[in-house]
A and B are shown apart, each in its own frame.
Chain A
Amino acid sequence: MNRRIMALSVLLISVTFLSVAQTPRYNIGKPAIAEEIRKRETSVAPDGTGLPVGSGNVEEGRHIYKVLCASCHGDKGQGVGEYPALAGGQHTLKSKDPILTVGSYWPYATTVWDYTRRAMPYQRPGTLTRNETYAVTAFILFMNGIVDQKMELNEKNLPKVKMPNREGFVSDPRPDVPVGTKN
């Protein structure tokens, strides 16, 4: 979490709460009904907030992946042409040629679920069911050696999956470049 931004948020919020009236000023727009919100509320937080009830295992995911994902991402998640690799590259982040994949780079397993559900497969995004999404996520994590072959993912255990690069991110330190040392 970006501490500077958080601190700023808290400061500004405490100031603005005074000015943001708690009663609507214009009375424009219609109340959103719970059913509509439920249908459209698709975002998933790293703590699992927003994950729908469901489950899928590695073997189910292997089958879906073969049919829908492998043509672009490779049968072992190695990537094909311009399409990114999903697996491999762990321990390469400090090397000269880092390989950045779900397994080597992505800090949260929930991100894999959320992105797969909303944006994949590329030609028909948003068509995987909840259970299929859990299954594909399980298989991608399995290809990276993060879960074992018997793993069944669900809304409760997915947020608990510890990604290898979970501690690999830092907040924005800029401005960070001293000027005038090199032409």
Chain B
Amino acid sequence: MRSELTRRTFLTTAAAFGAAGAASTQFPQDLGAPRSGYGERSPYEKSVRYFRDSPTPGTGASRTPLQDLYGIITPSALHFERHHAGVPQIDPRQHELLIHGLVERPLVFSMKDLQRFPSVSQIYFIECAGNSGGEQAGQPGADPQRSHGLLSCSEWSGVPLKILLAEAGLKEKATWLVAEGADASRLARSFPLSKALEDVLVAYGQNGEALRPEQGYPLRLVVPGWEGNVNIKWLGRIQVVDQPYMTRDEAASYTDLMPDGKARWFTFEMEAKSVITRPAGGQVLDGPGFYEITGLAWSGRGTITRVEVSTDEGKTWAEAQLNSLVLPKAVARFSFPWRWDGGETSLQSRCIDNTGYIQPTRADLIAVRGVRAGPDGFNHYNGIKAWYVHRDGKVSHE
């Protein structure tokens, strides 16, 4: 819907410019706007995050408008949000990271301290565990934002956590970490030390500038490929421990209830998933002819190696082109040339990662995992998403 509006706005604008051009010259003759300290996008660009009003505005999510994005980087202002007690306003001069527990030397780092350490910048996606959970529930999202918008991808800059842990000196019994945010609810999660020593970042930068407040300013964990909730924002404390601490978000929420009544926990990795973002639900095709099909694919286990697209309701599949940087635990953009004959059909994508894992259909997935909602709906769903093209050019989710 939004894309249609955006495109229409663009066409109207172009037409207006054309008309003005015909009356005078094709160049504007009034002086343009002056310089500015911090740039804004064009007033014609209206794409925004989507969220529903709720009685507790500080708790909940907002969704990235995937259908309006190009490339693989999510603009920081459009990165999806998920907060449990609102966005704290933190003065970086007051903020400190405490590392303690099973370490030789408990340490406190100021933001200035952290910026003295060797740093890295890496592109990683962050995806909420609950992203596309409505699809598992049988309530498919009407457009890419509503179906898959709890996914974003940024360049994150910061210090590898293993450097800070080495500075504190790990004791032999250390096997897990508890990370805690400085939000009002002091959201906390446990995760295995092995992941911290592999690729976890203590990040202060996002897409070339400081983190946005909604993304954890001034400091957050980036836990590549793992469910969003463990990527603790407003990071204030890391405790080195010898067991998972069973916080609410790992021992109740973010768990997956199976048909036999047992629930899975510590299902950290987000499995390979893809979604077509154009043409997709809410958009309208301008009659038969050529269209580029484009979308995103990503895997929390590694690198996307292949994306396939079907334009005939899943009967045949053909390889799409990966036409972006293709990086581990980052989104990759795919494209596929398509000529619409004006008939009804569906468009689908499926991806394969470098572990050989193939994105499953919803039917395959629910045959194993069922359709029993967990304490916060459905988590870790990654089934194939179909968009339906109708004869009038409308594309919808059903």
Contact = CB atoms under 8 A, between A and B. Distances in A.
Contact of A170 (B56, B184, B262): B262
Interface string B357-381: 1111101110111001111000010
A150 B108 CA distance: 44
Interface string A1-30: 110011011111100110011111110111
Interface string B81-103: 00011000000000000111000
A156 B266 CA distance: 27
Nearest to A110: B246
B192 A169 contact: no
B143 interface: no
Interface in B156-186: 162-163, 165-170, 172, 174-176, 178, 180, 184-186
Contact of A25 (B166, B178, B375): B166
A145 interface: no
A44 B190 CA distance: 11
Interface in B89-143: 98-100, 104-110, 113, 116-117
B209 to A, nearest CB: 23
A11 B197 CA distance: 12
B248 A182 contact: no
A45 B166 CA distance: 24
Given A31-B106, A108-B246, A168 B251 contact: no
B367 A28 contact: no
Nearest to B186: A118
B261 A30 contact: no
B183 to A, nearest CB: 9
Interface in B216-267: 236-237, 239, 241, 243-248, 251-252, 255, 257-267
A125 B185 CA distance: 6
A46 B168 CA distance: 25
A182 B264 contact: no
Interface string A43-71: 11111011000000000000000000000
What's the interface size class on B, roughly? 35 or more
Given A5-B266, A20-B166, A177-B360, A31 B186 contact: no
What's the interface size class on A, roughly? 35 or more
Main secondary structure of the interface of A (DSSP, over half): loop
Greatest chain B CB density within 10 A among A30, A118, A119, A177 is at: A177
Contacts of A10: 175
A157 B167 CA distance: 37
Given A106-B252, A126-B184, A170-B262, A28 B106 contact: no
7 interchain residue pairs of minimum CB distance: A182-B363, A94-B261, A119-B185, A32-B106, A93-B261, A12-B194, A115-B248
Interface of B: 54-56, 59, 84-85, 98-100, 104-110, 113, 116-117, 162-163, 165-170, 172, 174-176, 178, 180, 184-188, 192-194, 197-198, 236-237, 239, 241, 243-248, 251-252, 255, 257-269, 271, 314, 357-361, 363-365, 367-369, 372-375, 380
Interface of A: 1-2, 5-6, 8-13, 16-17, 20-26, 28-32, 36-37, 40-47, 49-50, 81-82, 84, 93-94, 96, 98, 100, 102, 105-108, 110-111, 114-115, 118-119, 122, 125-126, 168-183
